């Protein structure tokens, strides 16, 4: 940011006084031209549909009756919130976010700590443990669906062999187990992301801090508490916030693993909404769910930023 000043000064010095405005407006045109494609695409195909979606959430917009679209106030919201599935979907979303996030953070943090010091083959090791992050949620759901298979699944087999259970568990046919199963798949997927972020933060800690702490007689554990943790806290807080938002909006694994089943017992807001768009065709209600998600996230973000003072810590 400091770096662009010289250019501006130079163009001013080079240009004769009369041409100054011309030069400046030429840079302005250049800036606009370069940003135009990005701005155009994003406004037309992201912001416009979003705005339209918010409007739709107040209309009786169904595909069966497109000629009779009118504003119906909060009816869509009332219908969504009072529908019998809603409490379940809300609870599932909460479990999905909180449990996934907790274990992703815990494992990701442990992994990053262990990977911090160099060891032979770390490059290859990293390529393997970080790979799940590059996979599609759809395929992850499919793979875990096969592993959780009641009859021929490897997870039941391992549990039986180790003597932890006596009879195979129909993981994906039982609502409670199914929710646990999709969360496990999600944890598998998300550990890498936390590990990547925390590892990057760990590697930016200056070595002198540890030397100073060691001189003051701090042990390994104390160094961790008084140097490592405070230093990477801002990164962790920002990453957690981003992940909460992202996990809540991530339907792919559930979509391919259980498709919200059995009997709607693994729906979270995101999959519930997609179900409504693809099969229900009640776009008004679907959009209302979307608006509810955003309101929840907005409230959460405001609360989180206030509680953690993350905006001071991170470059956010």
Partner 1 sequence: MDRDHQWWRTGRVVVLGSFLAFAIFPLYWIIITSLKGQKEIFSLPISYWPEQVTFLNYIEIFRISHFQVYIWNSFLVSLVASSIVVVIAMLGGYVLARFSFRGKRQVMFGFLITQMIPMFIGMAPLYVMMSKMHILNSLTSLMLIYTVMLIPFCTIIMSGFFQRIPTALEEAAMMDGCSRISALFRVIVPIMLPGIAATFIFAFVQCWNELIMAVLFIDEESVKTIPVAMNAFIKKFDIEWGAMSAATVLSVIPTMLLFAFCQKYLVEGLTQGAVKG
Residues 100-159 that bind partner 1 (CB under 8 A): 107, 110-111, 114-115, 123, 125-132, 134-140, 142-147, 149, 151-152, 154, 157
Distance, in Å, from the CA atom of 57 to the CA atom of 46, rounded to the nearest integer, reads 17
Count the residues of the shown chain that bind partner 1, applying the rule CB under 8 A.
99
Is residue 194 within the footprint of partner 1 (CB under 8 A)?
no
Q: Please, what is the minimum distance in Å from the beta carbon of residue 87 to partner 1?
A: 20
Among 259, 304, 305, 313, binds partner 1 (CB under 8 A): 259
CA 45 to chain centre: 21
- Using the contact rule CB under 8 A, the part of the chain among 93-101, 205-213, 246-254, 304-312 near partner 1 is 246-254
Task: State the DSSP H helix or E strand holding residue 114, giving kind and residue range, or none if neither.
Answer: helix 86-115
Determine the longest span between alpha carbons in the chain, in angstroms.
89
Looking at beta carbons only, is 36 or 212 nearer to partner 1? 36
> Among 255, 260, 308, 310, which residue interacts with partner 1 (rule: CB under 8 A)?
255
- Using the contact rule CB under 8 A, the part of the chain among 22-30, 70-78, 98-106, 210-218 near partner 1 is 22-30
Give the number of residues written for the chain.
316
Residues between 295 and 314 that touch partner 1 (CB under 8 A): 297, 301, 314
Instruction: Name the DSSP class of 250.
Output: -
Residue number, 91 or 158, with CB nearest to partner 1: 158
Q: How far is the CB of 174 from partner 1 (least distance, A)?
A: 18
Distances in Å between the Cα of 99 and the Cα atoms of 103, 112, 176, 185, 315 are 6, 20, 14, 12, 27
Q: How far is the CB of 99 from partner 1 (least distance, A)?
A: 17
Q: How far is the CB of 1 from partner 1 (least distance, A)?
A: 7
Residue 62's beta-bridge partner residues? 282
Q: How far apart are the C-alpha atoms of 311 and 250, rounded to whole Å?
A: 25
Site for partner 1 in 262-281 (CB under 8 A): 270, 273-274, 277-278
How many angstroms separate the CA atoms of 259 and 264, rounded? 8
| Residue 213: CB minimum distance to partner 1, A | 17
Q: Which of the stretches 69-77, 169-177, 221-229, 242-250 binds partner 1 when contact is defined by CB under 8 A?
A: 242-250
**What minimum distance in Å lies between the beta carbon of 308 and partner 1?**
15
Give 189-223 as a DSSP string: HHHHHHHHHHHHHHHTS-HHHHHHHHHTT--HHHH
Query: What letter would DSSP give residue 278?
Result: I
- The token pair that represents 190 in the structure block: 């998300």
Name the minimum Å distance from CB 67 to partner 1: 14
Q: Which 27-86 residues touch partner 1, going by CB under 8 A? A: 27-28, 30-31, 33-35, 37-39, 41-42, 45-50, 52-54, 56-57, 61
For the bound state, the minimum distance from the C-beta of residue 102 to partner 1, rounded and expressed in Å, comes to 16
Whole-angstrom distance, CA of residue 149 vs CA of residue 143: 10
Q: Which helix (H) or strand (E) holds 24?
A: helix 20-42
* Shortest reach from residue 35's CB to partner 1, in Å: 5
- Do 182 and 96 form a contact (C-beta atoms < 8 A)? yes
- Burial class of residue 92 in the structure, from the number of CB atoms within 10 Å of its CB (0-12 exposed, 13-18 middle, 19+ buried): buried
Distance of CA 83 to the CA centre of its chain: 27
Q: Which residue, 101 or 201, is less far from partner 1 as judged by CB?
A: 201
Kindly tell me which residue out of 97, 172, 182, 238 binds partner 1, with binding defined by CB under 8 A: 238
């Amino acid at each position: 940011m400091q770096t662009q000043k010289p250019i501006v000064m130079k163009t001013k010095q080079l240009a004769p006084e009369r041409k100054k405005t011309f030069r400046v407006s030429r840079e302005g045109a250049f800036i606009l031209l370069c940003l135009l494609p990005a701005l155009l695409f994003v406004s037309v195909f992201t912001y416009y549909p979003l705005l339209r979606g918010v409007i739709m959430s107040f209309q009786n917009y169904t595909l069966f009756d497109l000629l009779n679209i009118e504003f119906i106030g909060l009816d869509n919201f009332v219908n969504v919130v009072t529908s019998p599935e809603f409490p379940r979907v809300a609870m599932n979303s909460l479990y999905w976010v909180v449990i996934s996030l907790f274990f992703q953070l815990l494992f990701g943090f442990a992994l990053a700590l262990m990977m911090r010091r160099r060891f032979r083959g770390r490059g290859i090791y990293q390529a393997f443990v970080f790979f799940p992050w590059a996979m599609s949620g759809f395929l992850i759901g499919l793979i875990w669906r096969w592993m959780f298979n009641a009859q021929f699944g490897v997870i039941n087999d391992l549990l039986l062999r180790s003597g932890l259970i006596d009879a195979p568990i129909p993981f994906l046919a039982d609502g409670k187990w199914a929710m646990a199963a999709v969360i496990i798949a999600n944890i598998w997927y998300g550990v890498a992301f936390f590990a990547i972020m925390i590892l990057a933060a760990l590697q930016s800690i200056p070595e002198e801090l540890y030397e100073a702490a060691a001189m003051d007689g701090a042990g390994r554990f104390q160094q961790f508490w008084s140097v490592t943790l405070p230093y990477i806290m801002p990164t962790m807080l920002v990453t957690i916030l981003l992940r909460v938002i992202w996990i809540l909006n991530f339907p792919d694994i559930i979509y391919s693993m259980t498709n919200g089943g059995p009997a709607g017992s693994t729906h979270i807001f995101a999959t519930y909404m997609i179900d409504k768009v693809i099969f229900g065709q009640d776009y008004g209600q679907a959009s209302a769910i979307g608006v509810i998600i955003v309101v929840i996230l907005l409230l959460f973000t405001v609360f989180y930023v206030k509680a953690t003072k993350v905006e001071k810590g991170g470059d956010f």
